[in-house]
Copies of this chain bind each other. A is one copy, B any other.
């Protein structure tokens, strides 16, 4: 490590006012109760657990973050494995719950090579395995005796699961499966935890029985020796190399050369091969599988709020500390202005601040709906066997809600992760030059988050599923077969009022804002339906319309969920009147700013008039920026992201931005090098030999 700076440097302070003074001032000017708001958002218990875990983790040298951004990939991934191991040890020692383990994993701030073992591998074994398979695989996996991964995507096949090339052929003669990769593009690819770590994989492969293809199914395959950890015969496996982010994860590739596995290795809770008849047994209850994806996507929506909050916290605090230029209309020497006072900064940051609240409440709402429905469906599953539980009408309502939830979760996953991913880059740029430093904490976080926009359904692909569902619902409504769910309701409401027109009062009635968003969705749905069903336009020619439609629908859902949250009894009970009023303002800021950005669609659907749009832009949004501005720092404080997690000079709670940036810069290992700067000397360092190997 470089030697400490000389005394005259150590004596220097930033020009005043100090960052700590500016943040104190920010906190003093807002009357909202930050702790109470934090509790309302996250719950007391979660906040306490977080404090406890940060204390524990930050005291261990292995979790020290100082070298995260300077090491090469081989060093980083080894350190990540060491962290993963320590985390698992701590988890056993302290008897952590699943929630505690995942929170600890989040706090250390980067993926470890156990990531996909601890999530998709265990989940798949649990949900798709039989009791026999649980004993054989799951129990050992939970003890980390088996380390696994979930191998679906292939080199040539991502979104289109039906296009997978890996084959599992049933051999009736010895009652085994042969797993085989017929081509190079059949290689499994991008599989987290596979590259160097896993000794088992759940492999999705096309099942062939008696020459017939039954589509992709999951198989457990042992891929590395349990002792030597070398790949087993006829298996070629490795790490796929460096990435834009996520470099502490060993995303891997995997090829099979006619590898035999026993009958019991096909995960058989829903489908199986009958050993007596050598016949394929059909899925019992596919809707439960359907449910897992919905759960994963709902989680992405909820997390998106927290991911974005990290960037907004950093940018908001730093823009309150950073000062640049005097206000152009100010007279006399009033000093430089806090950057957060500039409208051009506010219009970029404050709607994102509102978005992180919006996504949080939307995610919570989605999870609640999902869990209610799962409970109901479980009732169904029981009733299948035991002949009791809800009647057929309730069953139909449950299936109907699940279809709605599935489509909803697709669109919201796309909108939420795009908002968070792109929002982080907006936050980074709002920090000016220093946003580009790794010490800002935003860049590495953004780079690690970006895959979320592609995995669990590419954000553009997913919008087709939403559109398909909306078109189907619209056809049903037109046929008088609409259901009781929200989608049917907004389509029906639109049809009922279409002739009279909308005439929403978006500038004074909050519920009319929600109605205007619903109206636009319904309008775009029936427009798209006309193009598809009446004008018989090709599906491909409508993809752009579908993407717009899905975005519109998802924005409606966020606005609706946000509105329901801010007008809920729970919020009224938990928060003082000032904070509640502020939550309403955040709702309005999110909704009206979105409406302004999508103005052309709102206008074209006659949901609002051009005059309303102009007033929204010129008055309402600008006024909301003024009203939210004094509370900006408190609103990010309430998210309670610990400094240790932020790992950011710019976003420190205490505002001591410049001393921290300086300290980290001075200590960075590049400062141990003494260059020989002259081009005629081959050696790049003083007193070293030329790097002839380069």
Q: Which residues of A contact B (CB under 8 A)?
A: 2, 5-6, 8-9, 12-15, 61-62, 69-75, 77-79, 81-82, 84-85, 88-89, 113-114, 144-145, 147, 153, 155-160, 163, 165, 181-187, 189-190, 195-199, 228-230, 234, 236, 238-246, 250, 253, 255, 257, 322-325, 327-329, 336, 341-344, 347, 425, 428-429, 432-433, 435-439, 443-444, 447, 450-451, 453-455, 458, 460, 538-544, 547, 599-600, 603-604, 610, 613-614, 622, 658-659, 661-662, 664-666, 668-682, 684-686, 691, 693-694
What chain B residues lie within 8 Å of A680 (beta carbons)? Answer: 89, 144
Are A186 and B238 in contact, CB atoms less than 8 angstroms apart?
A: no
Complex CA distance for A603 and B199, rounded to whole angstroms: 61
Can you name the residue of chain B whose Cβ is closest to the Cβ of A233? B6
Contact B242–A78 (Cβ < 8 Å): no
Chain B residues with Cβ below 8 Å from A458 are 432
Q: A12-B184, A454-B429 are in contact. Are A239 and B671 (CB under 8 A)?
A: yes
A243: chain B residues at CB < 8 Å are 436-438, 443
* Cβ contact of A679, chosen from B85, B160, B230, B244, cutoff 8 A: B85
Residue of B nearest to A76 (CB): B72
Contact of A78 among B9, B257, B691 (CB under 8 A): B691
CA distance in complex: A73, B380 (Å) = 57
Nearest-neighbor residue (CB-CB) of A443 within chain B: B244
Hey, which chain B residues are within 8 Å of A336, CB to CB?
A: 160, 163
CB distance from A655 to the nearest CB of B (A): 13
Q: Of all chain B residues, which has the CB nearest A8?
A: B257
A15 / chain B contacts, CB cutoff of 8 Å: 156, 165, 182-186
How far does the alpha carbon of A373 sit from the alpha carbon of B599 in the complex, in Å?
Answer: 42
Cross-chain contact B255 with A73 (CB below 8 angstroms): no
Residues of B within 8 A of A668 (CB): 238-242
Residues of B contacting A238 in the complex (Cβ-Cβ under 8 angstroms): 2, 665-666, 668, 671
Contact A163 B665 (CB under 8 A): no
Q: Chain B nearest CB: distance from A320 CB in Å?
A: 14
Please state if B69 and A70 are interface contacts (CB–CB under 8 Å): no
Partner of A614, one of B71, B77, B198, B604: B604
**Does A670 lie within 8 Å of B239, measured CB to CB?**
yes
Assuming the contacts A324-B158, A600-B599, A614-B604, asked whether A679 and B88 have C-beta atoms less than 8 A apart, the reply is yes
Q: Which residues of B contact A547 (CB under 8 A)?
A: 344
Q: Which residues of B contact A185 (CB under 8 A)?
A: 14-15, 658
A622 to B537 Cα, complex, angstroms: 13
A165 to B323, CA, bound (A): 13
Distance A432 CA – B428 CA, assembled complex (angstroms): 24
Query: A187: which B residues are within 8 A, CB to CB?
Result: 662
Contacts of A84 in B (CB 8 A): 679
Contact, CB under 8 Å: A250 / B541: no
In the complex the two chains form, is A673's CB within 8 Å of B196's CB?
A: yes
Distance from A493 Cβ to chain B, minimum over Cβ atoms (Å): 25
Interchain CB contact under 8 A, B144 and A79: no
Q: How far is the CA of A503 from the CA of B614 in the complex (A)?
A: 22
Q: Which of B12, B671, B693 contacts A183 (CB 8 A)?
A: B12
Residues of B within 8 A of A75 (CB): 72
| CB-defined contacts of A246 to chain B, threshold 8 Å | 436
Least CB distance from A152 to B in Å reads 11
Contact A159 B432 (CB under 8 A): yes
8 interchain pairs (CB within 8 A)?
A: A14-B184, A69-B242, A155-B661, A229-B677, A239-B668, A241-B668, A343-B540, A425-B425
**With known contacts A238-B2, A600-B603, A113–B675 Cβ distance under 8 A:** yes
Using known A-B contacts A429-B454, A454-B429, determine if residue A327 contacts B540 with beta carbons closer than 8 Å: yes
CB contact between A230 and one of B159, B540, B674 (< 8 Å): that residue: B674
Q: Is the CB of B344 within 8 A of A544?
A: yes
| Cα distance, A435 to B658, chains bound together (Å) | 36
Known pairs A82-B684, A600-B600. 19 more at Cβ < 8 A? A8-B234, A9-B255, A13-B184, A15-B182, A61-B693, A70-B241, A72-B72, A85-B681, A147-B677, A153-B433, A156-B658, A190-B433, A199-B677, A238-B665, A238-B668, A241-B670, A242-B439, A243-B437, A244-B447
Q: Which residue of B lies closest to A345 (CB)?
A: B460
Residue of B nearest to A328 (CB): B539
Query: CB-CB < 8 A to A186: which residues of B?
Result: 15
A461 CB to closest chain B CB (Å) equals 8
Give, as a whole number of angstroms, the nearest-CB distance from A457 to chain B: 12
Q: Which 10 A-B pairs have the closest CB atoms?
A: A72-B72, A244-B443, A241-B668, A88-B679, A69-B242, A344-B543, A328-B539, A242-B438, A599-B600, A12-B184
B77 touches A659 (CB 8 A): no
Q: Which residues in B have their C-beta under 8 angstroms from that of A190?
A: 433
Whether A670 touches B250, Cβ cut-off 8 Å, given contacts A197-B677, A684-B82, is yes
* Contact of A228 (CB < 8 Å), options: B89, B157, B686: B686
Given contacts A184-B658, A433-B190, A454-B432, contact A244 B694 (CB under 8 A): no
Closest Cβ–Cβ distance, residue A217 to chain B (whole Å): 20
Query: Which residues of chain B are near A622, meaning CB under 8 Å?
Result: 541, 544
